[in-house]
Amino acid sequence: MTSQINPPPRLLMGPGPVDADPRVLRAMAAPLVGQFDPFMTDTMTETMGLWREVWRTANEQTFLVDGTSRAGIEAALVSLLEPGDDVVVPSFGRFGQLLAEISERAGARVHLVEAEWGTVVDPDRVAEVVGQVRPRVVAVVHGDTSTTMAQPLEALGQIARDHDALLYVDATATLGGNVFETDAWGIDVATAGLQKCLGGPSGSAPVTLSERAAARIRSRRHVEAGIRADDDAGAAGRRIASNYLDLAQIMDYWGPRRLNHHTEATSMLYAARECARLIGAEGVGARAARHARHGAAMVAGLRGLGLETFGDDRFRMNNVVAVRIPDRLRADPGGGDAVRAALLEDFGIEIGTSFGPLHGQVWRVGVMGTGARRDAVLATLAGLEHVLRRAGAVVPAGGGVDAALAAYDTPADAVSAGLEGDR
Amino acid sequence: MTSQINPPPRLLMGPGPVDADPRVLRAMAAPLVGQFDPFMTDTMTETMGLWREVWRTANEQTFLVDGTSRAGIEAALVSLLEPGDDVVVPSFGRFGQLLAEISERAGARVHLVEAEWGTVVDPDRVAEVVGQVRPRVVAVVHGDTSTTMAQPLEALGQIARDHDALLYVDATATLGGNVFETDAWGIDVATAGLQKCLGGPSGSAPVTLSERAAARIRSRRHVEAGIRADDDAGAAGRRIASNYLDLAQIMDYWGPRRLNHHTEATSMLYAARECARLIGAEGVGARAARHARHGAAMVAGLRGLGLETFGDDRFRMNNVVAVRIPDRLRADPGGGDAVRAALLEDFGIEIGTSFGPLHGQVWRVGVMGTGARRDAVLATLAGLEHVLRRAGAVVPAGGGVDAALAAYDTPADAVSAGLEGDR
């Protein structure tokens, strides 16, 4: 007979998913309650408040979509965009391409503003295209794990407002580990997933909507036949193409009317609540600073091993760094993967491969959630040193660990990237 | 500071969600592994096999969609149907209406074949409409909890095959607690959610696809730009309107190619695996028989309390029964809800309200998952007796418990509904 699940011990230091906080995993083991139990509806309302703190927003419409981060992205785009709408997508990696792809499937006309992988998009170019196109939406990824770069967002918020467009941001890879200011940066809609800096498992997508965005979505509200009341005449706007990801209906479900939609994924709600609760207890700013500190130590350590980092230092996310696979290993097409496999097998440590033009060129190393801690950073560097050497690379003995320790000895105020703008 | 989640003790005897099996909840607390860790991909493959047993199918394409049962429904319909396609929807309750609504949003032309609530649809009427319309898909709910009726499916499978249509079935409310025969009944696509008879929390949608259905969906396969290989030219068929719920991409993710799509909701995967594992250990047939036995005891007990059941006995699902709210209580518009609230507050037991034309007319009582057990049935009947009497209804002392106990004393072979067709 098949046994209980019994995963092998792992330290997940890739670009995500990473290890969930054990307290989040335990929260999911709490018993269920009914969908409209007062405890359930109170918990939903409480969870909205906890996430407002994480998002740094006063947005009433701050809730969860029941699916992975990708469900949150699609819910935002399909609810904002209707066939024929224009959307401008600044793109600097694989997940920018994904925003374009999802927008296309929603029937929108996509205007890409692309930057080379390893850089970010010049806001002036975005302003120019937005000025020409006058799109309904500007859709952008904050941190694109495919390249490890983070797009500065403040300028984009201004550009969107100047041209009466809504700014949508995919914050999956950055929220909870980098400064993220929904309101101060003028972001209208942002979505995330729990499996990166937020310390939870994939499967719940936190979302926040400005009043402007909520009004746009409400203009497309069509309550489904089975639960429609007499005063639920459909709004004038075109019905949203998805029922499951229809944010107008999901707002009604989370709002005071509690209109039945999906059956809330209660265990994932408990997980998302616990993630936000733990972030609030740590402090949103302190958590970004922690990610910056341990992320910087990892960068220093990888360089100390003689590895070359990929991409523009000025725009690197706190929580993930890409390093070029040494030439000697890259000569063999499977060379990079063999090193990753050895690290997993001999040390139980996972680091990431990469996508598209970077596939076979770089590894990606994540430092996020509970993994943003000293022993995880040092153990990863020590393990990597050994597997690199055994694979034939020339690596300085202790070079990674020593460099990381030196970085940890650097006063915290020298590691300021994570604090910038944190008020 | 906000505390850990601490739900009040509840016994969930409504139409679902119901209490999850504690072993399923604990499985979710297992640590995560990486998305392409050999343990993860092996677990995904193993989980596919466990679910084939639950679905009673040999379908290779048997996997999970990361969302609630509604995500599974929409994934099936949006992947099968394209704008302009015809779909015939036999409907006998709210969830039939939902299939029509989701199909409409996918751009399909919907042909409803409706039956009065409390009955099911005559297959001859379905055959007639299918013969006229020649639809791409026949889409039907197996058990519609809004009315507690279950549509016999075998005839519909034959009708679909006779007219070269694909049969889609929403088995959310019946799977794991009623006989369900994917292959023997000629079902092409079926979807479910964990939160009813399957004993888990909402948030993962098991799906199974026949080879005929998989071929239809593959004909619409368009790998997204960010991960497309040179030989991934798009299929001839129209691209599926959703990216997240695109079953062509989800098949590639679960299949040997392991093509990156969403980030699998690992904790919900563990939950879904554990649900299927426990069902396999109990035996699919034994589990349906258990639901039939305890469901019959609940029906007998409710009648023993003097309550009148709703709907046609011949088609009642094993796991949920609706009873008319006594006239004396129905005179007050909130009378039915006050009794439910008292049962929740004084006994910690939840039973369900109802939708649409039945709202305020009936309560719905569920007997499913771990709730399909003797003490849960008797405690519900005892609690209901007391709150009914305190609300002013005339109820025979001990009438519910006595009738249920008498039903339990009836030999099991007299309660055969759950076993019929179980091979």
Phi-psi region of A94 (alpha: psi -120 to 50; beta: other; left: phi over 0): alpha
In angstroms, the CA A95 to CA A117 distance is 11
Asked whether the predicted pLDDT for residue B353 surpasses 90, the reply is: yes
Touching check for B229 and chain A: CB below 8 Å? no
When pLDDT is cut at 50, 70 and 90, the band that residue A8 belongs to is very high
Instruction: Tell me the whole-structure pTM to 2 decimals.
Output: 0.96
Asked whether the predicted pLDDT for residue A112 surpasses 60, the reply is: yes
Proportion of chain A above pLDDT 70, given as a percent: 96
When pLDDT is cut at 50, 70 and 90, the band that residue B236 belongs to is confident
Asked whether the predicted pLDDT for residue A53 surpasses 80, the reply is: yes
In angstroms, the CA B301 to CA B382 distance is 9
Distance from CA of A409 to the nearest CA of B (A): 31
Q: Using a CB-CB distance cutoff of 8 angstroms, which residues of chain A are in contact with residue B37? A: 10, 344, 350
DSSP state of A255: S
Distance from CA of A85 to the nearest CA of B (A): 15
Give the model's pLDDT for residue A102.
98
Query: In the block, which residue shows the tokens 């910690």?
Result: B348
User: What is the C-alpha end-to-end distance of chain A, expressed in Å?
Assistant: 55
Asked whether the predicted pLDDT for residue A420 surpasses 70, the reply is: no
Touching check for A91 and chain B: CB below 8 Å? no
Q: Is A48 in contact with A251 (CB distance < 8 Å)?
A: no
When pLDDT is cut at 50, 70 and 90, the band that residue B421 belongs to is very low
Strands (E), B7-60: 11-12
In angstroms, the CA B352 to CA B195 distance is 14
Say which of B25, B32, B71 has its CB closest to residue A201.
B32
- Residue B276's nearest CA partner among B343, B220, B207, B336 is B207
- Residue A76's nearest CA partner among A262, A269, A240 is A240
Tokens, residue B365: 């009582």
Residue type, A328: R
Say which of A16, A203, A350 has its CB closest to residue B268.
A203
Give the model's pLDDT for residue A289.
98
Tokens, residue A332: 């063999």
Say which of A30, A270, A277 has its CB closest to residue B2.
A277
When pLDDT is cut at 50, 70 and 90, the band that residue A309 belongs to is very high
Q: What are phi and psi of A316, to 5 degrees?
A: -70, 135
Distance from CA of A410 to the nearest CA of B (A): 32
- Residue A209's nearest CA partner among A195, A188, A239 is A188
What pairs with residue A137 in β-bridges?
A87, A166
Q: Using a CB-CB distance cutoff of 8 angstroms, which residues of chain A are in contact with residue B106? A: 241
In angstroms, the CA B416 to CA B410 distance is 11
Tokens, residue B19: 């209490």
Q: B242 and A5: CB-CB below 8 Å?
A: no
In angstroms, the CA A143 to CA A185 distance is 15
Say which of B262, B271, B274 has its CB closest to residue A68.
B262
> What average pLDDT score do residues B344-362 get?
95
Q: B2 and A261: CB-CB below 8 Å?
A: no
Local structure of A35: helix, strand or coil: coil
Best of B28, B347, B349 to mutate (most A CBs within 10 Å, chain A): B28
Give the model's pLDDT for residue A196.
98
Q: Is A199 in contact with A27 (CB distance < 8 Å)?
A: no
The per-residue pLDDT for range A313-333, each reduced to its tens digit, is 999 999 999 999 999 999 888
In angstroms, the CA A105 to CA A349 distance is 37
Touching check for B262 and chain A: CB below 8 Å? yes
- Residue B323's nearest CA partner among B344, B302, B301 is B302
Instruction: Report the DSSP pairing between strands A166-170 and A137-141.
Output: parallel
Q: Is A343 in contact with A350 (CB distance < 8 Å)?
A: yes
When pLDDT is cut at 50, 70 and 90, the band that residue B228 belongs to is confident
A414/A172: higher pLDDT: A172
In angstroms, the CA B182 to CA B255 distance is 21
Tokens, residue A333: 């097409």
Asked whether the predicted pLDDT for residue B423 surpasses 50, the reply is: no
In angstroms, the CA A136 to CA A134 distance is 7
ipTM: 0.96
Local structure of B75: helix, strand or coil: helix
Asked whether the predicted pLDDT for residue A418 surpasses 60, the reply is: no
Give the model's pLDDT for residue A269.
98
Q: A101 and B226: CB-CB below 8 Å?
A: yes
Asked whether the predicted pLDDT for residue B71 surpasses 50, the reply is: yes
Q: A97 and B9: CB-CB below 8 Å?
A: no
CA distance readout (Å), A415 to A283, A316, B213: 18, 13, 55
> What average pLDDT score do residues B343-372 get?
96
What is the CB neighbour count within 10 angstroms for residue B413?
A: 7
Asked whether the predicted pLDDT for residue B159 surpasses 80, the reply is: yes
For A46, name the nearest residue in chain B, comparing CA atoms only. B2
Asked whether the predicted pLDDT for residue B418 surpasses 50, the reply is: no
Q: B203 and A203: CB-CB below 8 Å?
A: yes
When pLDDT is cut at 50, 70 and 90, the band that residue A413 belongs to is low
Q: Using a CB-CB distance cutoff of 8 angstroms, which residues of chain B are in contact with residue A16? A: 263
Out of A34-38, A166-170, B82-86, B327-331, pick the least confident: B327-331
Q: A202 and B50: CB-CB below 8 Å?
A: no
Task: Report the C-alpha dihedral over residues A279, A281, A263, B282, rounded to 10 degrees.
Answer: 90
Asked whether the predicted pLDDT for residue A125 surpasses 80, the reply is: yes
In angstroms, the CA A197 to CA B145 distance is 39
Tokens, residue A95: 């997940």
Q: Using a CB-CB distance cutoff of 8 angstroms, which residues of chain B are in contact with residue A53? A: none
- Residue A91's nearest CA partner among A125, A122, A114 is A114
Q: Which residues contact B339 (CB under 8 A, 6 or more apart)?
A: B325, B329, B363, B384, B387, B388, B391
B:325-344 residues touching chain A, CB 8 A cutoff: 344
In angstroms, the CA B411 to CA B421 distance is 19
Tokens, residue B395: 């109820």
Tokens, residue A128: 């120019």
The per-residue pLDDT for range B295-311, each reduced to its tens digit, is 999 999 999 999 999 99
Q: What are phi and psi of B106, to 5 degrees?
A: -80, 0
B35/A232: higher pLDDT: B35
Query: In the block, which residue shows the tokens 């009065």?
Result: B116
- Residue B176's nearest CA partner among B423, B414, B368 is B368
Best of A28, A46, A51, A196 to mutate (most B CBs within 10 Å, chain B): A28
Strands (E), A240-331: 320-324
A:346-405 residues touching chain B, CB 8 A cutoff: 350, 355-356
Q: Using a CB-CB distance cutoff of 8 angstroms, which residues of chain A are in contact with residue B66? A: 67-68, 71, 202-203
> What average pLDDT score do residues A123-149 get?
98
Give the model's pLDDT for residue A412.
66
- CA-atom Rg of chain B in angstroms: 22
Distance from CA of B123 to the nearest CA of A (A): 23
B:164-203 residues touching chain A, CB 8 A cutoff: 193, 195, 201-203
For B225, name the nearest residue in chain A, comparing CA atoms only. A97
CB pairs under 8 A between A and B: 289
Query: In the block, which residue shows the tokens 């034939």?
Result: A392
Asked whether the predicted pLDDT for residue A419 surpasses 50, the reply is: no
* Domain boundaries along the sequence of chain B: 21-281, 284-414
Say which of B8, B50, B226 has its CB closest to residue A98.
B226
Q: B243 and A193: CB-CB below 8 Å?
A: no
CA distance readout (Å), B333 to A35, B116, B192, B327, B355: 22, 24, 34, 11, 14
Asked whether the predicted pLDDT for residue A153 surpasses 70, the reply is: yes
Distance from CA of B325 to the nearest CA of A (A): 20
User: What is the C-alpha end-to-end distance of chain B, expressed in Å?
Assistant: 55
Q: What are phi and psi of B140, to 5 degrees?
A: -145, 150
Q: Using a CB-CB distance cutoff of 8 angstroms, which residues of chain A are in contact with residue B50? A: 2
Tokens, residue B304: 């023993």
For A107, name the nearest residue in chain B, comparing CA atoms only. B241
A284-414 and A21-281 share a CATH fold? no
Say which of B17, B26, B261 has its CB closest to residue A266.
B17
Tokens, residue A260: 């039945």
Touching check for A225 and chain B: CB below 8 Å? yes
| Topology of domain B21-281, CATH | Aspartate Aminotransferase; domain 2 (3.40.640)
Three-state helix/strand/coil letters over A14-32: CCCCCCCCHHHHHHCCCCC
In angstroms, the CA B18 to CA B369 distance is 7
Q: Using a CB-CB distance cutoff of 8 angstroms, which residues of chain B are in contact with residue A34? A: 10, 12, 14, 17, 344, 350
What is the CB neighbour count within 10 angstroms for residue B250?
A: 23
Superfamily of domain A284-414: Aspartate Aminotransferase, domain 1 (3.90.1150.10)
Q: B227 and A8: CB-CB below 8 Å?
A: no
Residue type, A100: A
Residue type, B186: G
Asked whether the predicted pLDDT for residue A279 surpasses 90, the reply is: yes
DSSP state of B396: -
Q: B70 and A226: CB-CB below 8 Å?
A: no
Best of B74, B222, B245, B268 to mutate (most A CBs within 10 Å, chain A): B268
Proportion of chain B above pLDDT 70, given as a percent: 96
Distance from CA of A220 to the nearest CA of B (A): 13
DSSP state of B214: H
Give the model's pLDDT for residue B413.
58
> What average pLDDT score do residues B29-51 get?
97
> How big is chain B, counted in residues?
423
Q: Is B302 in contact with B365 (CB distance < 8 Å)?
A: yes
Q: B224 and A260: CB-CB below 8 Å?
A: no
Q: Is B77 in contact with B168 (CB distance < 8 Å)?
A: yes
Tokens, residue B423: 């091979």
What is the CB neighbour count within 10 angstroms for residue A109?
A: 16
In angstroms, the CA B336 to CA B388 distance is 10
